[in-house]
Chains A and B, each alone.
Chain A
């Protein structure tokens, strides 16, 4: 019984041991250390980017991508130019009315 009371007392004492606690503060020059870290991170970021970009497989992939884009643009332009030629023909026909060359079209225009 007495032992239990003593145990409970110790537990309560421990539970209250944080009473009157003062707030912890970081060491001096915290802002300076923070800025150093942020600058370091910025440098690391650029180093990471450059080291990644200069990897051989990235360079190869980039070259392949540029070539693919080139080929795709070439095919697209070839398609477009044939469409354009057809369109130009139609425009010429409309412009000079080369399609309605028959005399009867004019004379028998109305019933």
Chain B
């Protein structure tokens, strides 16, 4: 109903959609980009795209699935853009005399983390950034958004068994990374 109204350009319908889904979009975005300001930016980009391309939404999948897909795509684009900038800055530093300090982002603490787990979760989230793209997405959707494997498979357009496999590999890689981290830490 709201979708139909939005397709006809109804601003009130758009407002209702934003208010209903902003938490889902923001929480997913912050899980992937791991920075509150960037997550806000991504969430805004998602809703701009929803507004501009609502005509393309045929209702074949759930609205939430469509929103998850757009959010993931925008968040991954954001990360790629950021990495490109970092690489460019690094190369620029090599060829110029200016020694600009390379800024490392601070450890990310998800706002919804229990206080006791803050330190450990920051270490885990850092390890998540080193996972391959698909494993990172599956892990974030499962752990941060609390989606089931069935729901993740719908979002990622794959089968449940491939999501299980992705999650298994993600866990194995994370454990390896964490072991290395703690070995060096000791």
Contacts and interface: CB of A to CB of B under 8 A. Distances in A.
Contacts of A23: 23, 27, 112, 145
A14 B40 contact: no
Given A7-B179, A23-B23, A24-B26, A14 B114 contact: no
B65 interface: no
Interface in A1-58: 3, 7, 10-11, 13-15, 17-27, 30-31, 33-34, 37-38, 41
B22 A14 contact: no
A22 B30 CA distance: 12
B23 A11 contact: no
Contacts of B179: 7, 11
A33 B145 CA distance: 24
A33 B44 contact: yes
Given A7-B183, A30-B22, A24 B111 contact: yes
Given A23-B23, A34-B47, A14 B111 contact: no
Nearest to A14: B120
B118 to A, nearest CB: 8
A26 B120 contact: no
B27 A15 contact: no
A15 B18 contact: no
Interface in A59-110: none
Contacts of B26: 24-26, 30
A31 B111 CA distance: 20
A11 B19 contact: no
A31 B178 contact: no
A33 B39 CA distance: 14
Contacts of B58: none
Contacts of B144: 18, 21
Nearest to B41: A37
B182 interface: yes
A2 to B, nearest CB: 13
Q: Give the residue among A19, A23, A37 with the most B Cβ atoms within 10 A.
A: A23
B117 interface: yes
Interface of A: 3, 7, 10-11, 13-15, 17-27, 30-31, 33-34, 37-38, 41
Given A17-B117, A21-B114, A31-B18, 7 more contacts: A14-B178, A17-B123, A24-B36, A33-B40, A33-B44, A34-B44, A37-B44
14 contacts: A7-B179, A10-B182, A11-B178, A14-B120, A14-B121, A18-B121, A18-B143, A23-B23, A24-B39, A25-B22, A30-B22, A30-B40, A31-B19, A33-B44
